[in-house]
Amino acid sequence: MARTRERSPGTFDQWFGGIQFDDWTGEVLTLRAQNEFVLDWVKTNFLPDLLEQILVESGLAVQVSWVLDPHLDKPVASVPMTSPVRPRALAFPAQDDARVGSSVIERTAQGALIDRAPNSERRKSPPEDINPRFTFSNFIVGPSNQLAHAAAVAAAGGGGRRYNPLFLCGGTGLGKTHLVHAIAHRVYEERPFARIRYLSAERFTNEFITGIQHQRMDEFRAKYRDDCDVLLVDDIQFLAGRVQTQEEFFHTFNALHNADRQIVVTSDKYPQALERMEERLVSRFASGLVADIQIPELETRVAIVRNKAQLEGIDTDDDVAIYLAQAIRSNVRELEGTLIRLAAKSSLTGRSVDMAFVKAELSSAVAHRTQMLSVEDIQRTVCQHFHLRTSDLTSKDRHKTIAFARHVAMYLCKQRLKCSFPELGRAFGGRDHTTVMSAVRKIETQREDDPMVRAHLEAIERKLAVE
């Protein structure tokens, strides 16, 4: 029998801290969970390994009975109590009181540095490249992003266990950048003299090239290694294939990590799925907490629409919010953008943002998008994503990578184009309709159970959305 996968102490603490052992009677194991989110996550991601290990150790095939208990205060296992790891203290002189300008930085009994500067002398706002609207208070939390949100709050020094690095991954428009900016806002609020560097991987590359060209590498390295307390990097996947830039980022990462300075990185893929990325960098990214953001559930999408309407002063009712949330599922940015576009057209035409108006506008947009998409478009996009040739999908090749890509393409064609199974069989090299049915059902199941498959599908769907 295959050995169960090993779990890091951080992963165990993160999830099983909300699970309690209640009873084991015969072949029934009773566990108590803090909430449905923790229950579902443990049940989906850890329960198979747990039951397999119980079978190995005891020879019993047990069943698990779950009890929900929001007042749970005793985890399944006791772990040593440690003080939360806080972001590195700001780089001021190590005496009891340190002055920066006219500000006074006092050291507490726990060793933390607190800014005692008068309010008038504090930095009023973060730099211009931090979006003023991207704060934690404006971020709608749901089961799809709860872990990422909690980890981001901890990374900003808001309490709880801090993971370094924090790797946020998920599709375009799901809130990764929002959380990164929210971290910056929180740090600036609590420590206004903290040296925060926020940039995209593309900008890091450009500044690195400029540093080489103008012989200013010492200045570049000082900026991102010595004069940096928190490093926030968006879209790290754009370092793919850039060997020298990856080398520089690797050393920057090590310098900050060794000094216990917080690093937060975002990507549209899991670390292990990053293409043309050095293995040592991938290993560094995966060494902390990898928190993925999934497509939000209907209730979360409705809350997002309501929140956006309130922020923008758009007068709409709950029926419209629910309809929009049902119509646009895969992208929060698209959902918010659609609401803004509807409000703009409403203002220009003098019509209210009611159900009839919204239905008419969205039906024409959906019809146009569907009409423009074809089987060939989906096949081509899938092949671009997996770096294959279109002919591979219609060939008889059963190599694992090609077969998986073929199944994904069949699934997306069925979902988006509503083609019949025989039609798809003919489009994929004359295959039998039962083969297509099996492929579609397989991907449907894997989408629910396998985060990696879900990430591939979301990435391809984003590409199709702009076709």
Q: Residue 98 belongs to what H/E stretch?
A: strand 97-100
**How many other C-beta atoms are found inside a 10 Å radius of the C-beta of residue 246?**
19
Task: Give me the pLDDT at residue 317, please.
Answer: 80
The parent domain of residue 341 ranges over 298-371
Residue 282 and residue 354 in one domain: no
For residue 419, give the amino acid letter. Answer: C
**pLDDT for the residue numbered 13:** 55
Lowest mean pLDDT among 16-25, 276-285, 353-362, 442-451: 16-25
Do 367 and 452 fall within a single domain?
Answer: no
Q: What does the pLDDT average to over 357-380?
A: 71
Rounded percentage of the chain residues whose pLDDT exceeds 70? 78
Integer Cα distance of 414 and 438 in angstroms: 12
pLDDT at 72: 66
pLDDT of residue 332: 83
**Residue 294 near residue 144, CB atoms below 8 Å:** yes
428, 409 Cβ separation under 8 angstroms: yes
Would you say 195 and 91 are in contact if contact means Cβ atoms under 8 Å apart? yes
Residue-wise pLDDT tens digits, 65-108 = 888 776 665 444 433 433 433 333 333 333 333 333 334 444 44
Question: Token pair for residue 315?
Answer: 């007068």
pLDDT class of 467 with cuts at 50, 70, 90 = low
Question: In the prediction, which pLDDT does 160 show?
Answer: 66
Residue 128: the pLDDT is 67
- The CATH number that applies at residue 181 is 3.40.50.300
Q: Which of 45-49, 362-366, 395-399: highest mean pLDDT?
A: 395-399
Count of domains for the chain: 4
With cut-offs at 50, 70 and 90, classify the pLDDT of residue 12. low
Whether residue 116 has pLDDT greater than 80: no
Decide if 86 is inside a domain.
Answer: no
Residue given tokens 């409403």 in the structure block: 346
pLDDT attached to residue 174: 86
Same domain, 182 and 254: yes
Quick one: CA dihedral 430, 432, 435, 441, positive or negative?
positive
Kindly state whether residue 82 falls inside one of the protein's structural domains.
no
Average pLDDT, the chain: 79
CATH number of domain containing 408:
1.10.1750.10
Do 399 and 330 share a structural domain? no
Residue 125 pLDDT class (50, 70, 90 cuts): low
Q: What is the pLDDT, as a whole number, of residue 255?
A: 94
Specify which residues 29 forms β-bridges with: 24, 64
Spell 46-73 as b/e; 16+ CB within 10 A means b: beeebbbebeeeeeeebeeebeeeeebe
**Residue 351 pLDDT greater than 70, yes or no:** yes
Residue 23 pLDDT > 50? yes
Owner of token pair 């293409």: 275
| C-alpha separations of 359 from 73, 184, 326, 365 in Å | 48, 38, 12, 10
| pLDDT for the residue numbered 228 | 93
Residues 418, 386, single domain; the answer is: yes
**Please, are residues 168 and 293 in contact by the beta-carbon 8 Å criterion?**
yes
Model confidence at 221: pLDDT above 80 = yes
pLDDT of 315 above 70: yes
Q: How confident is the model at residue 399 (pLDDT cuts 50, 70, 90)?
A: confident
Distances (CA, A) of 432 to 188, 261, 400, 429: 60, 57, 19, 9
Mean pLDDT, residues 269-287: 89
pTM recorded for the entire structure = 0.56
Q: Is 3 within the bounds of a domain?
A: no
φ, ψ dihedrals at 226, nearest 5°: -85, -45
Cβ(305)–Cβ(335) below 8 Å: yes
Residue 108 forms part of a structural domain: no
Q: What are phi and psi of 194, to 5 degrees?
A: -65, 145
Higher model confidence: residue 381 or residue 103?
A: 381
b/e sequence 362-395, b meaning 16+ C-beta within 10 Å: beeeeeeeeeebebebbbbbbbebbebeeebbbe
Q: Which among 410, 153, 148 is positioned nearest to 290, based on CA atoms?
A: 148
β-partners of residue 203 are none
Q: Which amino acid is at 412?
A: L
Asked if 309 and 392 sit in the same domain, the reply is no
Which distant-in-sequence residues (6+ apart) come within 8 Å of 245 by Cβ? 204, 205, 208, 239
State the pLDDT at residue 330: 67
Domain for residue 351, yes or no? Answer: yes
pLDDT tens for 249-262 read 999 999 999 999 99
Single-letter residue type at 275: E
Residue 385 located in a structural domain: yes
The CA-CA-CA angle for residues 344, 348, 351, to 5°, reads 90
